[in-house]
Structure 1
Amino acid sequence: MRTTKKLILLIMMMLLAFSCKNEKTTKALPNTASPETESVELEEKEETLVEMTPITNDILETAIIYEANIRQYSPEGTFNAFTKDIPELKELGVKIIWLMPVFPISKTKRKATGGEFASLIEDEAERAKMLGSYYAVTDYTKINPEFGTIKDFRALVNEAHKHGIYVILDWVPNHTGWDHEWLKNHPEYYTQNGKGEVIHPDETDWTDVADLNYDNTDMRKEMIADMGYWITEQGVDGFRCDVAGSVPLDFWEEAIPQLRSKKDIFMLAEAWEPELLKANLFDMAYAWEGHHLLNDMANEKKSLMDWDKYATKVITDYERDDILMNFLTNHDENSWNGTIQERMGDASELMTVFSYIIPGMPLIYSGQEYGLNHRLKFFEKDSISKTKGRQWEVLKKLGTLKNTHEALNGGKQSASYLIFETDNKYVLKYIRSKAGKKITFIANFSSKPQTFKMTSAGKFLDYMTREEVQFNNKNVTLDPWGYKVLTDL
């Protein structure tokens, strides 16, 4: 009898073990790299994702977006080092985190500082420092081991979601790195020259990547499937799509509805073309023209008259519910064109505040909150200095105002604005209003003190200094690049 019981117990244990094994197998990640890593990835995938409420138009009205450069954000350059600071980003009013590409980077034709191929560097130690471009993707469904593991990635998404922050991935649909398995198994997925050779994107120096062929329907299907994996399996809330305007519009018309059918997502196009925002395609595009204009105004090459023309052009080119992303810096601008301080000098703070005041969604790039005044290296490890100072306090105040004041709504039901001429061509008077709430912004867009007549009589709160101010139709003088953000008492 005891032998029979032992035999039954043994059979039950074997069945249980077999059942557990089958359960784990059904949870395998797609495109698993090797049998050695399979069991680790299976265990990591089982971590439960924190559910977020669907991203809505109301949320977009008050949103601030943060671009996270994981490699350079910390000395460690890891997901975990960034994740622990997510609660701090909430202090800045951040509601969307955009992660620069998190995928493995190709080694073939890997770029080095200076633009040459890393393989040409003779010194082995120097060659090893060259990590390549985030945008030379070798696998759309894997994590760059430089940053951590898929478990670390999921922990980052969970931490953001716990704090009410959405996470979008930087997607690179125009090209892949030269080590992508598609190049071996599906060369027809790529653009080829007359000799049948795969080529890099035309009219660029992006020799570290291979141009994708959007005439191939099978490639399109795989691209959409890989994007869907991150939404359904890893909990991401949308994508920032690299050079979206270089990808055929009909691909986005095919892909985005399929992705939206899986989940309410946020879509950001690295592009300016208005057609990308139509028919529920992308939610937001880049305010490229506005960005360049702010640079020129900071250098007194352009004036408030030019800004007035730009504001009129935006109304003409875009529909009422289109959203533009306002930015002073990002990964490209910082690394290749200079820091905010380099490009804007003493006008930096004014331009920062103005980017929050105007319609649209403001961007914070990694390090901007700490007053980053260093061009981060693009192809190798670097790091930002995280010391809180005036810039942190300015962004914190602006974040609170953006999150809570209807007059700064910048989404699909954006607050209205009026530009008032003053008796001084260097001084802007700008009023935003919605639902009976109003913000008045006055600013001196010049490097010299300017006096003008303030025609808005009454008492106001100077939001940035928290001081009560009163105007009685008298002259007011503003310091060079001086400004005031005025709210009702």
Structure 2
Amino acid sequence: MADISELRYVKGIVNCFIVNYNPAKVRCNRFRLRKMPTINQSYKKFNLSNFHQPSFLHASNIYCVNLRQYSPEGSMTAFSAQLPRLKDMGVEILWFMPIHPIGKVRRKGTLGSYYSIADFREVNPEFGSKADFKLLVETAHQMGMKVIMDWVANHAAWDNVWTISNPDFFVKDDTGNFKPPYDWDDVIQIDHSNEKEQQAMIDAMLYWIGNFNIDGFRADLAHLTPLSFWINARVQASSLKDDLIWLAETEEIDYHQAFDISFSWQWMHGTEDYCKGQKDFSALIHILEHYKNDFPLDALRMWFTSNHDENSWNGTAFEKYGNYVKAFSVFNASFPGIPLIYSGEEAGLSKRLKFFDKDPIDWNDHAGWHDFYKKLLHLRKRNDAISAGSDSYPVFLEGFREKNMLAYYRIKGNSAVLVFINLSKEKQTLSFDTEGFSGNYIDIFSGERVWLHAAGTIALEPAGFLLLEKD
């Protein structure tokens, strides 16, 4: 057998956003920068030991809710009617894109960007009322789900309420006017050096915990706001609720001092480039090696084939991955970390949803996507080899690299999973030794039983996959 730790990391195409925020010197590309950030080896001291990391995260999943496009009504009430379906699928953590009122000044499109916030303590009437949101959270909790809010701490709408009550909360240009960060002209830059602003922002976060019993936050472009702010926010929030979920849109390693989970942008772009013939298979393995060796052990990575930004601006999962969407979804659910499902993916979302205007999801699932994700999410919940996280790190099978196949097993006690994913453009056959994981297995998709003796052989078509669970 060959463990992935035997591999060596080399630089690849990365989505790193901004490493050090300085609007005077840095031009930001929100989506892709073709430069790998230098790894500061002091990251090895970073950990979440000062905070309580919810133990259920390793077996859980995240579902991103785009309320505007979820239904013709686009309301919280309409979404609530879908909670039983999501519960059946196995969804556990609901990440709501910003639910706050959207600024009208310099608004883009007819409805504006969710991330141009006019008031951090109010609800966008487009989606409903505070009473609607409170009921939604209560209903989700009754079904065993968690609710986290999207939080934008770096910028706000031009007509945010603080521009009147606290104009000093924002950065100004040489003429004394508010200024946008980079070319994002529908928002203005918050002044992170203002301690009163930082506390006011934290107070707003505490408001939603204390009054609505939410379960955590997804931090928009977390690295554009100082790490000290997020640590302070988590310290104060933990005094209200100790098992909150903290998800950061960043790949800055040191931000895991404050966050449980971070985005895997490098993997997402690397796999897209691979599918488009711009990267070879070894580049993908190098990224996984980077994640394993350079991030803290308690850092959870979030895997995804799509999200709100990627879908609207860069293309659907099918535009990016073609026939390999399910293959990468199997990886997302079986590798250490936590998988993300974006609104509509469980219906085979095949169109780019408009970001600033109404554009409802087509919910006609003709390909069984709901059941596909259901099998994956329920496996995560019941299988100890997956819920053990880094304690059951995958062991890769000998010869997987030559075949352009992800082939690995995970074991914890009597539980085991065996995963084969053919990422090549050709049919591949892989022979392997089963020492250490032989036994009776079940194909989680077909239900067929497979007995693995001393050796095994598998043949998969391009984009084919097999996920076996030890019986």
Task: Tell me if both proteins adopt one fold, taking TM over 0.5 as the criterion.
Answer: yes
Pair 1:482 & 2:469 matched: no
Instruction: With a CA cutoff of 8 Å and minimum separation of 6, indicate the structure with the bigger relative contact order.
Output: 2
State the alpha-carbon separation in 2 of the partners of residues 415 and 197 from structure 1. Answer: 54
State the alpha-carbon separation in 1 of the partners of residues 236 and 456 from structure 2. Answer: 59
- Using the TM superposition, give the Cα deviation of residue 316 of structure 1 relative to its aligned residue in structure 2, in angstroms: 2.0
Whether the 8 Å contact between 1:61 and 1:414 is mirrored in structure 2 is: no
Q: In the alignment, residue 56 of structure 2 is paired with which amino acid?
A: I
State the alpha-carbon separation in 2 of the partners of residues 303 and 398 from structure 1. Answer: 27
State the alpha-carbon separation in 1 of the partners of residues 70 and 83 from structure 2. Answer: 12
Q: In the alignment, residue 219 of structure 1 is paired with which amino acid?
A: E
Whether the 8 Å contact between 1:416 and 1:434 is mirrored in structure 2 is: no
State the alpha-carbon separation in 1 of the partners of residues 150 and 387 from structure 2. Answer: 25
Pair 1:440 & 2:418 matched: yes
TM-score (norm 1): 0.81
State the alpha-carbon separation in 2 of the partners of residues 443 and 233 from structure 1. Answer: 45
State the alpha-carbon separation in 2 of the partners of residues 396 and 302 from structure 1. Answer: 31
- Using the TM superposition, give the Cα deviation of residue 230 of structure 1 relative to its aligned residue in structure 2, in angstroms: 0.2
Provide the residue aligned with 1:382 in structure 2. 359
Pair 1:398 & 2:376 matched: yes
Q: In the alignment, residue 403 of structure 2 is paired with which amino acid?
A: K
Secondary structure of 1:452 counterpart = strand
Provide the residue aligned with 1:22 in structure 2. none
State the alpha-carbon separation in 2 of the partners of residues 316 and 476 from structure 1. Answer: 30
CA offsets, 1:154-176, max 9 Å, x none? 11101100011110110110001
Counterpart among 165, 175, 200 of residue 145 in structure 2 = 165
Pair 1:465 & 2:462 matched: no
- Using the TM superposition, give the Cα deviation of residue 436 of structure 1 relative to its aligned residue in structure 2, in angstroms: 3.2
CA offsets, 1:302-356, max 9 Å, x none? 3432222122211222111111111110000000011111111111111111111
State the alpha-carbon separation in 2 of the partners of residues 224 and 56 from structure 1. Answer: 20
CA offsets, 1:118-142, max 9 Å, x none? xxxxxxxxxxxx1000000000011
Q: 1:214 to 1:374 in 2, by over 3 A?
A: same
Counterpart among 304, 310, 314 of residue 333 in structure 1 = 310
Provide the residue aligned with 1:151 in structure 2. 131
State the alpha-carbon separation in 2 of the partners of residues 476 and 137 from structure 1. Answer: 52
State the alpha-carbon separation in 1 of the partners of residues 301 and 383 from structure 2. Answer: 19
Q: 1:64 to 1:475 in 2, by over 3 A?
A: closer
State the alpha-carbon separation in 2 of the partners of residues 459 and 268 from structure 1. Answer: 37
Provide the residue aligned with 1:240 in structure 2. 218
State the alpha-carbon separation in 2 of the partners of residues 142 and 483 from structure 1. Answer: 46
Q: In the alignment, residue 272 of structure 1 is paired with which amino acid?
A: E
- Using the TM superposition, give the Cα deviation of residue 56 of structure 1 relative to its aligned residue in structure 2, in angstroms: 6.1
State the alpha-carbon separation in 2 of the partners of residues 173 and 86 from structure 1. Answer: 29
Q: 1:371 to 1:414 in 2, by over 3 A?
A: farther
- Using the TM superposition, give the Cα deviation of residue 153 of structure 1 relative to its aligned residue in structure 2, in angstroms: 0.7
Provide the residue aligned with 1:209 in structure 2. 187
State the alpha-carbon separation in 2 of the partners of residues 64 and 410 from structure 1. Answer: 14
Whether the 8 Å contact between 2:59 and 2:380 is mirrored in structure 1 is: yes
- Using the TM superposition, give the Cα deviation of residue 428 of structure 1 relative to its aligned residue in structure 2, in angstroms: 2.7
Provide the residue aligned with 2:254 in structure 1. 275
Provide the residue aligned with 1:304 in structure 2. 281
State the alpha-carbon separation in 2 of the partners of residues 458 and 448 from structure 1. Answer: 29
State the alpha-carbon separation in 1 of the partners of residues 199 and 340 from structure 2. Answer: 32
Larger Cα Rg: Structure 1 or Structure 2? 1
State the alpha-carbon separation in 1 of the partners of residues 351 and 388 from structure 2. Answer: 30
State the alpha-carbon separation in 2 of the partners of residues 458 and 219 from structure 1. Answer: 59
Off by >6 Å, runs of 4+ in structure 1: none
CA offsets, 1:253-288, max 9 Å, x none? 22210111111211111111111112xx11111111
Counterpart among 65, 84, 93 of residue 90 in structure 2 = 93
State the alpha-carbon separation in 2 of the partners of residues 148 and 292 from structure 1. Answer: 36
Q: 1:410 to 1:359 in 2, by over 3 A?
A: farther
Secondary structure of 2:354 counterpart = coil
Counterpart among 116, 131, 154 of residue 174 in structure 1 = 154
Pair 1:315 & 2:305 matched: no
Counterpart among 309, 333, 340 of residue 356 in structure 1 = 333
CA offsets, 1:360-381, max 9 Å, x none? 0000100011111010000001
Structure 2 counterparts to residues 242-257 of structure 1, below 5 A: 242-257=220-235
Whether the 8 Å contact between 1:304 and 1:428 is mirrored in structure 2 is: no
State the alpha-carbon separation in 2 of the partners of residues 110 and 421 from structure 1. Answer: 55
Whether the 8 Å contact between 2:64 and 2:341 is mirrored in structure 1 is: yes
- Using the TM superposition, give the Cα deviation of residue 460 of structure 1 relative to its aligned residue in structure 2, in angstroms: 2.6
Provide the residue aligned with 2:55 in structure 1. 58
Whether the 8 Å contact between 1:359 and 1:414 is mirrored in structure 2 is: no
Q: Which runs of 5+ in 2 are unaligned?
A: 1-51
Q: In the alignment, residue 113 of structure 2 is paired with which amino acid?
A: S
- Using the TM superposition, give the Cα deviation of residue 470 of structure 1 relative to its aligned residue in structure 2, in angstroms: 4.2
CA offsets, 1:385-417, max 9 Å, x none? 112332111101001101111111265x55321
- Using the TM superposition, give the Cα deviation of residue 475 of structure 1 relative to its aligned residue in structure 2, in angstroms: 4.3
State which drifts further: 208-217 or 288-297. 288-297
Provide the residue aligned with 1:74 in structure 2. 71
Q: 1:410 to 1:330 in 2, by over 3 A?
A: farther
Q: Which runs of 5+ in 1 are unaligned?
A: 1-54, 113-129
Instruction: State the number of aligned residues.
Output: 413
State the alpha-carbon separation in 2 of the partners of residues 321 and 215 from structure 1. Answer: 30
Q: In the alignment, residue 289 of structure 2 is paired with which amino acid?
A: T
CA offsets, 1:2-41, max 9 Å, x none? xxxxxxxxxxxxxxxxxxxxxxxxxxxxxxxxxxxxxxxx
Q: 1:414 to 1:322 in 2, by over 3 A?
A: farther
- Using the TM superposition, give the Cα deviation of residue 188 of structure 1 relative to its aligned residue in structure 2, in angstroms: 1.3
Secondary structure of 1:233 counterpart = helix
Q: 1:410 to 1:268 in 2, by over 3 A?
A: farther
Whether the 8 Å contact between 2:403 and 2:424 is mirrored in structure 1 is: no
Q: In the alignment, residue 332 of structure 1 is paired with which amino acid?
A: D
Counterpart among 81, 84, 95 of residue 84 in structure 1 = 81
Secondary structure of 1:469 counterpart = strand
